Amino acid sequence: MFEYVEVLEKLSKQFGITGQESRVARTILSEIKDCIDSYEFTPLGSLIAVKRGSSEKHPKLMISTHIDEVGFVVSNILEGGFLRVNPRGGVDFKILPSKEVVIHSSDGEILAIFSIIPPHLLSEEDKKKPLNYDKLVLDTGLNEEEVKKRIKIGDPVTFKGEFLRLNGNKVSGKSFDDRSSALVSIALLKELSYFKNVWDVYCVFSTQEEVGSQGCYTATFKINPDIGIAIDVTIGNQPDIGGSFEGYKLGEGTAIGVGPDFTPKIVKDLVNTAKEEKLNYVMEPMSRPGGTDAAVIQIARAGIPTALLSIPLRYMHTPVEVIDIGDVKSTVKLLLSYIKRLDEKYLEELKWS
């Protein structure tokens, strides 16, 4: 039996900041190598895993999940051995004071914390102001000489983030955006080994999504799929969002994107598949594909029929992201059931409207 939580924990703990995802890709390859027909790494580091289908025409379904995580890079070494950092990917500096991080240096991993000014030293006016990257520093506990010897400008920094099993099916940790979706593709490939799919299935574990989806864009150009489905995370419900949008409830299934960027037939067939299989799902209205791999899949080459499936996630881009494992399993079941419906006629029926 596939151990969803154990594999997610392994993926979550692995270092894979944007642009340096090779450890994550190798970890994924070790999980799937026995259930795929071939694999390759692109020049930008994305892993492409292929499960061949039975059709002699070889129609291609591409499923893309990114494997990079947000983080930081060391930008300056200050007097006393303190460090300045710049973000890599979208990290809100308001969450950073007192957070634990890991500096990945050539001398090994070095623990550090983001500084925080004690409330006793803050004026009433300062208490209302969030710190920014010009004020925040990292403290490693090392003196200036040791820091300069062991740490270099450009060294990557990631959240430390503990993996926690919460109540029910919920788990918490870092880099669930988007390692929870990579988990979907891993489990899907395991399931595909039990039956013969008609279409060729290409699972892309893409790089650099957090800075523009370059890994997916180049992989899509290389594969030239007939259909591309991106899997990512979306805003999960939490009490402090505000406004009319409260996020999507964890445990209520996959969010199926609907909007001008997603091919109507694919969206309709995914919805019908979910209904027929009695799978939990919600609709996610979107005026644009947002910062996901779907944005670049759709416009690759002459245009690729595209869809987006998303897993509700709380506290995005923090070291305490939360998902419900049941939503991961629902996404796997939805994709597996959809793939079973892909026959040789499907490609002829695939029109925009």
Amino acid, res. 208: Q
Give the rounded distance of the alpha carbon of 175 from its chain centre. 7
List residues bridging with 88 in a β-sheet.
Answer: 71
Per DSSP, helices labelled H in 14-158 are: 22-32, 124-127, 144-150
CA–CA separation, 12 and 141 (whole Å): 26
The two three-digit tokens of residue 335, written as one number: 């994709």
- Write down the catalytic residue from 21, 31, 69, 209: 209
CA–CA separation, 105 and 153 (whole Å): 10
DSSP assignments along 93-120, one per residue: GGG-TT-EEEEEETTEEEEEEE----GG
Amino acid, res. 279: L
Q: What backbone torsions phi and psi does residue 326 show, to the nearest 5 degrees? A: -60, -35
Strand locations in the chain (E)? 38-41, 47-51, 60-66, 71-77, 83-88, 100-105, 108-114, 138-139, 156-159, 164-165, 170-173, 200-206, 227-235, 254-258, 281-285, 306-313, 321-324
286 CB-near residues (< 8 Å, 6+ apart): 257, 258, 259, 261, 262, 308
Contact call for residues 99 and 119 (beta carbons, < 8 A): no
CA–CA separation, 209 and 69 (whole Å): 9
CA–CA separation, 309 and 229 (whole Å): 7
Our answer to whether residue 277 is catalytic in this structure is no
The two three-digit tokens of residue 110, written as one number: 């070095």
Looking at the annotation, which residues are catalytic?
A: 209
